[in-house]
Amino acid sequence: MTNETTALERAVAGAPTQQEVEELRQRGALLVQKSKELQSLAKEIEGCQWGSGSSLVKGSNFSEATRMAFAKFCYLTKANPMIHIDVLGGGPYLNAEYWSDKMNSDPTFIRYEQFPIDRGTEAKWRERAKRLRAQASELKDLEPQRAADFIGKAQYAEDKADWVEEQRIQWEVPDAAPSAYLTDIYKFGNHAPLEKIRSGEIQDFDRYVVKVSEANWAGNKSSDPVGKAEAEKTARTRSLRRAGVRAFSAWLQQYEQEISKVENAMEAEFEIIMDERAEERASLPSSDEPQAVSTSQGEPSVAQEDEAQDLPSATDPAVEEDIPAPEISEEEQSLDEPEPFDRGDWHRKYFALLKEAGIDERKPWQVDNFLPESVTEWEPHHYKTACRLLEEIVEGARA
């Protein structure tokens, strides 16, 4: 009897508790709810449009896999696909509106201002000053007052051009950058009496206001497809994001780091999707090539001519009798066929190793190890080198 009781006690001790069962049920409900939200977001994305004219992008043109990846990005970042996201460089990009809304949630936030500081902006101000001085010269004898007004406006334009030049030098903006922005964020200092300011008890609150400034740019690197696609939008967003992280470092810095991880993961997923679609398109024949029908995936689709086979007829011997293919040894196969390279598999392996090695900023790491900054430029040997280096880091950490 004692042995039976002990065995029963051991069995009960190893069983999940009621609390664990309830947590498991709740987790299942959460997973179902997440799936529903993702499906709803994917449906919403299908009806969205971004941009206009020749740059118009429609969600209905995305593949189902792309829409689901897009939905996961919105779900994790809590972004509204129509308001908070631009489609740049082939994928979703959190815009300035997204970061503005995040900063607005901080009770110390007042407002922000942005100013273009690229070389093109400086050139426009100098050209305006030159044109105004030419107009003043033409009117100086006929209409001296108007000429004087033009001179004043020309001086203002020259001052603006000088200011843009000074800011570009101060923030070390590359001359090749087609767009660059300075962002000024105004907020209350940490020790400002916010309740008294809001109630109106303190009306002269300028002494509690601080300004935080940062600048950023885009479009000057071939390895930056997002910046190349929309330099001005990207520069505005990057400048605001950088200034926000500095102004609200107590919480936005950590939040921004987590968002960066999501962006890197989604970037990898979108690259895989785009690679797979590009490979699929490349496998299709051009309009002037012979076409055939492939049914390897269970549905008819276009295929290259070399994949085509004659449909068997009722008198085809192959229909009546299975004819075995000639046997080829593994050794012969290895000699005839190069080792296949699955870019998608290596892509996933690389990003999994990055995570395991604890490397959040992959692009600086890639540059430090003499790898192209963008994985879109990678060849098979780049993936193999990167994975080997990361495996050494992981093994070293385990040792």
Structure tokens at 53: 């004219």
pLDDT value at 394 more than 80: yes
Tracing tokens 């009722």 back to the chain, one arrives at: 314
* H-type alpha helices, 59-117: 64-77, 96-104
Query: Tens of pLDDT along 343-381?
Result: 777 888 888 888 888 887 788 788 878 788 777 778 888
Name the nearest CA neighbour of 369 among 352, 383, 353, 355: 383
- In angstroms, the CA 142 to CA 244 distance is 52
Q: Poorest-confidence range of 14-23, 131-140, 197-206? A: 14-23
For residue 65, the model assigns a pLDDT of: 84
| Helix (H) and strand (E) counts in the chain | 15, 9
pLDDT value at 8 more than 70: no
For residue 1, the model assigns a pLDDT of: 47
pLDDT value at 96 more than 80: yes
Query: Tens of pLDDT along 157-174?
Result: 999 999 999 999 999 999
Distance set, CA 191 to CA 100, 155, 208, 230, 250 (Å): 23, 41, 8, 39, 14
User: pLDDT band at residue 184, thresholds of 50, 70 and 90?
Assistant: very high
User: pLDDT band at residue 235, thresholds of 50, 70 and 90?
Assistant: very high
Query: Tens of pLDDT along 244-268?
Result: 999 999 899 888 988 888 888 777 7
User: What is the enclosing helix (H) or strand (E) of 57?
Assistant: strand 57-58
Angle at 57 between CA 53 and CA 61, to 5 degrees: 130
Structure tokens at 289: 């090539």
pLDDT value at 302 more than 50: no
Q: How many residues belong to the chain?
A: 399
For residue 157, the model assigns a pLDDT of: 96
Provide mean pLDDT across the span 230-252. Answer: 93
Structure tokens at 111: 């407002």
Q: What is the 3-state secondary structure (H, E, C) of 262-276?
A: HHHHHHHHHHHHHHH
Residue predicted with more confidence, 359 or 136: 136
Provide mean pLDDT across the span 82-111. Answer: 90
**Is the overall model pTM greater than 0.85, yes or no?**
no
For residue 81, the model assigns a pLDDT of: 92
Query: Tens of pLDDT along 186-205?
Result: 999 989 999 999 898 998 88
User: pLDDT band at residue 384, thresholds of 50, 70 and 90?
Assistant: confident
